[in-house]
Amino acid sequence: MNLALRLISIALLLAAWFAGSHIVGTRLFPEPQTVGLAIAQEARSGALAFNLGVTLARVVVSFTIAMALGTAIGLAMGRVPTFDQLADPWLVVLLNLPALVIIVLAYVWAGLTETAAIAAVALNKLPIATVTVREGARALDRTLDEMATVFHMSVWVRLRHVVLPQLAPYLAAAARSGLSLVWKIVLIVELLGRPNGVGFEIGVAFQLFDVTRILAYALAFVAVMLAIETFLVQPVERHVSRWRSRPA
């Protein structure tokens, strides 16, 4: 994307923020530079890095669990009609259970533990990943499957070289939407039952009516996720779809 346009867009956003905070009042909506100072202060004390790290770790672990399980279950559901029919009602229940209910129940049943927190987040993300991968598994190319059968390819070779590349766009879609969903749910989980992390800090700031701190932590974490998207997700996507880049 054009860098100049991006910069103009960010400048406009900052200008609108500045104007907005003067209209609403700086107590309810502090100016950009105030938030910037707060971020710097938290960074100096080490609290920012610690909380970001803790939250990021929870995001990574629950995201990985949800994607791995979701891919396996989605693949099985897409390939085996009986399993699809058996598991589909469960999927519908999970899809429609509010995130908050899952989190609260997890904490009630398993206590205010790390395991409960991670499980609750993963369980929220799982059905969406499953549904997306199932669509991909249903769209698998039969002719390539037959080719693999005829040439006696091993299960591993088939999975790695025949099936997964076909699922790649679906996995990418699930990962994209999943990452942003997961980090939002992680914040709620932290707010409700963890003694650290970005969500916990925002909860504290909420009780103190400290809008500056809320914005400081929110922005810092958005920056982290943006960096992950730019330096991790996009390069991986480019590598996986390299065969598409040069048409015949």
Task: Indicate whether 244 belongs to the interface with other proteins (CB under 8 A).
Answer: yes
**Taking CB under 8 A as the criterion, which residues in 130-149 touch other proteins?**
143-144, 146-147, 149
Going by C-alpha positions, the residue among 195, 220, 204 that lies closest to residue 56 is: 220
Task: Indicate whether 243 belongs to the interface with other proteins (CB under 8 A).
Answer: yes
Tell the residue number behind the tokens 């991670």, with chain if given.
Answer: 118
Are 30 and 215 in contact by the 8 Å Cβ rule? The answer is yes
Decide whether 6 or 161 has the Cβ nearer to other proteins: 161
DSSP 97: S
What minimum distance in Å lies between the beta carbon of 149 and other proteins?
Answer: 6
CA distance 117 to 128: 18
What minimum distance in Å lies between the beta carbon of 236 and other proteins?
Answer: 14
Are 216 and 35 in contact by the 8 Å Cβ rule? The answer is yes
**Taking CB under 8 A as the criterion, which residues in 50-89 touch other proteins?**
none
CA distance 68 to 227: 23
Residue from 69, 94, 153, 204 binding other proteins (CB under 8 A):
153
Task: Indicate whether 161 belongs to the interface with other proteins (CB under 8 A).
Answer: yes
What minimum distance in Å lies between the beta carbon of 165 and other proteins?
Answer: 4
Task: Indicate whether 9 belongs to the interface with other proteins (CB under 8 A).
Answer: no
Are 39 and 220 in contact by the 8 Å Cβ rule? The answer is yes
Three-class SS of residue 30?
Answer: coil
Tell the residue number behind the tokens 């400048």, with chain if given.
Answer: 11
Task: Indicate whether 109 belongs to the interface with other proteins (CB under 8 A).
Answer: no
What minimum distance in Å lies between the beta carbon of 120 and other proteins?
Answer: 36
Decide whether 44 or 242 has the Cβ nearer to other proteins: 242
* DSSP-based helix, strand, coil % in the chain, nearest 5: 85, 0, 15
Decide whether 146 or 229 has the Cβ nearer to other proteins: 146
Select from 46-54, 120-128, 162-170, 197-205 the region that touches other proteins (CB under 8 A). Answer: 162-170
Are 160 and 127 in contact by the 8 Å Cβ rule? The answer is no
Going by C-alpha positions, the residue among 51, 45, 34 that lies closest to residue 210 is: 34
Residue from 46, 98, 195, 247 binding other proteins (CB under 8 A):
247
Task: Indicate whether 162 belongs to the interface with other proteins (CB under 8 A).
Answer: yes
Q: Which residues bind other proteins (CB under 8 A)?
A: 143-144, 146-147, 149-153, 157, 161-162, 165, 168, 243-244, 246-248
